[in-house]
Structure 1
């Protein structure tokens, strides 16, 4: 199983916040609507992004809690879904990070790292199957640990969500 977030030590060049956001009273009520079931049980085994997750060929599924299942009506029209998750094992107190592959440290909002003040994961996945009565959403893959809470699901609209000309200076898309 993964180590609790307080056990993560900052690397050289990283900066922690004075207070862990997890210890601050919430200003919004986030409700978990379900859980992700994936083959990934440790940070080391978990793919680093959705492209790597798809390349494993390992499917995943979401189980939506009973009170929220009627909200799945109409989702079957989508070929892909956007899943927002709560990365509950990620540290929340790193504000500057130095990824292993990077030469320089960067602010958390310039990275896609799960370690952030509000550890919200963003996943775009192909919808493979949907059983509304059971609250089951089968997807082709996911880059999240088994048991990760789901906070929202939205249909992916290529016509409005895709931005083909988007770039990150000095970085190739991987």
Structure 2
């Protein structure tokens, strides 16, 4: 169980206990060197810097879907962060001075703990259903929801920023 820190707010009901409205199917499993949360890289930049390759094992029924993927240099991997708490709606990261809403953070703790990872694709073995990745920032045996090719021409926004304090319209104001 995760301890709620000062400045954090939990939802009254855990989303994990609610009836689902989508039928997600896990298509595979991440195989990474990270078995303990405290050893896992906190983001993809750190995962790349550590230089530890990882693999994704795709279930047999979905392996034909890998056809053509080897043309991509990078992939977007969507994972289900199954160890993350789902009931925190406001969080106070250890490194931060202020609390933030879950949708302003990249924390794995969220109502639907979907991980988004962009990583270099080092190899594709369709017959074995194995993708070899430059690195990954999730624990070993993390379920995979989807794999997509990354297209720098449409997926990258070089001018994207995240300001420390950006004005947001208040719906209660005039």
TM-score (norm 1): 0.94
Which residue matches 2:91? 97
How far the C-alpha of 1:9 sits from its partner, in A, is 1.2
Whole-Å separation in 1 of the counterparts to 2:100 and 2:63: 39
Matched with 1:46 is 40
Aligned to 1:33: 27
Aligned length: 165
C-alpha distance in 1, partners of 2:92/2:22?
Answer: 29
Q: 1:164 is matched with which residue: 153, 158, 174?
A: 158
CA RMSD of aligned residues (A): 0.8
Alignment match, 2:52:
58
SS in 2 for 1:31: coil
Partner of residue 137 from structure 2, selected from 143, 148, 166? 143
The equivalent residue for 1:108 is 102
Tell me the residue number matched to 2:68.
74
Name stretches of at least 5 consecutive residues in structure 2 with no aligned partner: 166-174
CA deviation after TM superposition for structure 1 residue 74, in Å: 0.7
Q: Distance in 2 between matches of 1:33 and 1:55?
A: 27
- SS of residue matched to 2:34: coil
Aligned-pair CA distance for 1:132: 0.3
Q: What's the offset of the Cα at 1:170? A: 2.2
Larger radius of gyration: 2
Give the whole-Å Cα distance in 2 for the aligned partners of 1:153 and 1:130.
12
- Is 1:8–2:12 an aligned residue pair? no
Secondary structure of 2:144 counterpart: strand
Among 143, 146, 164, which residue is 1:152 paired with?
146
User: Which residue in 1 is equivalent to 2:119?
Assistant: 125
Please give the TM-score of this superposition, normalised by the length of structure 2: 0.94
